[in-house]
Amino acid sequence: MDPTEVVIKYLRGQNRPYSSNDIFSNLHEEIRKPSVQKALDYLVQQGRITEKVYGKQKVYVVKQEDTNAKDLEGELQDLDSKLNAVSKKVASVEQVLKGSENQVHELQLAPTTSEAQNEKKVLENRVRALKEKLDIISKNSVKISETDKKQIQNEYESNMKEWCKKKRVCMDIVEAMLEGYHDSKRALLNEIGIETDEDVGVPLIP
């Protein structure tokens, strides 16, 4: 059967607007999709059906008598209103999705919880050793040179800065995880096995 006649017969029988995809699906793939679109374009050119564009989608319907045309116009307006509502909803969802993707990207760049924990332990040990060394030196009556003293102080300050930096990264990850967590921050720290500076008795020394 001629695809053009199949399409016009279907549109007349349904007497309502359809997109080319709707027609192709509703005909249960009786006609190939390119043939459906080709038939629709031909029918529009012949003036037997009307084509109306909604955003990126085209809708087709047989030409109506004056009485039916009013009903069709109302239906098309209703479709237009629904399409606008859906478009706004899609835009809103896309905005939320973009925000989530940015957050995921930031988390992917940050160290994993395990890596942050390991680096934190290393830094804690280094700071603890430096603190002990500083305590011994401070109690030692033997004077040290200004060069050695400055070197020790610089090393200590460098490690403290690194410690604070890693701690901030670790806590940022924890805060991000808390957004979808069902319990308190303390419960989350206990669950993933993170000990704070206060927990292990290693307070930051200014």
Indicate which CATH number applies to the domain containing 15: 1.10.10.10
What pLDDT, on a 0 to 100 scale, did the predictor assign at position 151? 87
What pLDDT, on a 0 to 100 scale, did the predictor assign at position 38? 93
Percent composition of the chain: helix, strand, coil (DSSP 3-state, to 5): 70, 5, 25
Indicate if 153 and 82 belong to the same structural domain.
no
- Single out the residue in 34, 60, 91 at which a domain terminates: 91
Position 79 in a domain: yes
Position 200 in a domain: no
Position 188 in a domain: yes
Indicate if 17 and 82 belong to the same structural domain.
yes
Q: Write out the H or E segment, with its range, that includes residue 136.
A: helix 113-139
What pLDDT, on a 0 to 100 scale, did the predictor assign at position 142? 61
Per-residue pLDDT of the chain (206 residues; tens, 9 = 90+): 688 999 999 998 888 889 999 999 888 878 888 999 999 999 999 988 989 887 778 899 988 654 455 566 666 777 777 777 887 888 888 888 887 777 777 767 777 777 778 888 888 888 888 888 887 777 765 666 788 888 888 888 888 888 888 888 888 888 888 887 888 888 877 887 777 777 766 665 54
| Predicted TM-score of the model (pTM) | 0.35
Cβ 48 vs Cβ 62: under 8 Å: yes
What pLDDT, on a 0 to 100 scale, did the predictor assign at position 66? 42
Indicate if 20 and 82 belong to the same structural domain.
yes
Position 66 in a domain: yes
Indicate if 23 and 84 belong to the same structural domain.
yes
What pLDDT, on a 0 to 100 scale, did the predictor assign at position 185? 80
- Single out the residue in 58, 91, 124 at which a domain terminates: 91
Position 117 in a domain: yes
CB atoms under 10 Å from CB of 37, counted, come to 19
- Chain position carrying tokens 């859906």: 86
Nearest to 103 by CA among 2, 155, 172, 190: 172
Indicate if 127 and 86 belong to the same structural domain.
no
What pLDDT, on a 0 to 100 scale, did the predictor assign at position 44? 92
Residue 166's domain comprises: 110-192
Structural domains in the chain (count): 2
Indicate if 147 and 85 belong to the same structural domain.
no
Indicate if 123 and 175 belong to the same structural domain.
yes
